[in-house]
């Protein structure tokens, strides 16, 4: 009973924290709506977020994990909505369509595979590995920024609130993965937590400088997407 209670509590915390992190996209979309333009930003963070959530949703369906199904259903709906908003105000709609078609091909291929694969355990392994690979790619994306921070000894280019949120979300999902004995959930979230922790230590090594009116402004990392 205690084990089930801790699992349920951790699942609730992980779900709430992840959905709140997903909702940060509304702030970005609101900025696009006010400006009526996306400027030179890319839709890929939203589109890749939709792909990640959809694949984890499919993994949740295969493993019958209700927590994964709930949180990634919400995430899929939110990221699809963000992509639509981005498309409406995009200055390069052709690029958005190209990226979306690529993502849809991956989703369609995975859907066809799981529909015709009679070995459920094999389907779980394949989709789980695909989800892990996507997670590793997402977590690797800030590495170039980390090199820039170390080189300039300036953390202004790192989005502190997003990194903190990512750290706690990854820790929660790692714990949940340990409780249900699922390595496909444990490993990528553990890697994500470690990477977020490394970024947080940079704030200790290179304290954030006070902003000056004439100093450069850095855009936040929008690639810090949760994997679940």
User: Residues 164, 200: contact at Cβ < 8 Å?
Assistant: yes
Cβ neighbours of residue 226 closer than 8 Å, sequence gap 6 or more? 18, 21, 22, 75, 166, 169, 170, 192
Residue 221, classed as helix, strand or coil, is coil
Per-residue pLDDT tens digits for 19-60: 998 998 898 899 899 999 888 788 888 888 899 899 999 999
Say if pTM beats, i.e. exceeds, 0.75.
Answer: yes
User: Residues 42, 85: contact at Cβ < 8 Å?
Assistant: no
Which of 8-17, 76-85, 142-151 holds the top average pLDDT?
76-85
Quote the distance between the C-alpha of residue 71 and its chain's center. Answer: 12
Query: For residue 142, with 0-12 CB atoms within 10 Å meaning exposed, 13-18 middle and 19 or more buried, which class applies?
Result: buried
Per-residue pLDDT tens digits for 159-169: 777 788 888 99
């Amino acid at each position: 009973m205690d084990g089930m209670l801790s699992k349920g509590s951790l699942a609730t915390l992980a779900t709430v924290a992840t959905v709140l992190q997903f909702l940060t996209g509304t702030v970005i979309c609101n900025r696009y709506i006010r400006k009526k333009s996306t400027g030179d930003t890319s839709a890929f963070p939203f589109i890749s977020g939709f792909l990640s959530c959809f694949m984890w949703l499919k993994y949740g369906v295969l493993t019958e994990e209700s927590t994964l199904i709930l949180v990634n259903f919400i995430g899929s709906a939110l990221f699809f909505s963000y992509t639509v908003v981005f498309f409406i105000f995009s200055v390069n709609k052709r690029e958005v369509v190209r990226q979306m078609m690529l993502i849809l091909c991956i989703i369609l291929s995975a859907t066809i595979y799981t529909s015709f694969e009679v070995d459920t355990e094999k389907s779980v392994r394949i989709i789980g590995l695909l989800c892990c690979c996507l997670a590793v790619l997402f977590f690797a994306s800030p590495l170039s920024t980390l090199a820039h921070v170390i080189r300039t000894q300036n953390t202004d280019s790192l989005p502190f609130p997003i990194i903190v949120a990512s750290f706690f979300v990854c820790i929660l999902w790692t714990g949940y993965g340990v409780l249900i004995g699922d390595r496909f959930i444990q490993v990528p979230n553990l890697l994500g937590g470690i990477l977020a922790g490394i970024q947080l230590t940079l704030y200790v090594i290179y304290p954030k400088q006070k902003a000056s009116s004439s100093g450069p402004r850095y855009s936040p990392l929008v690639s810090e997407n949760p994997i679940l």
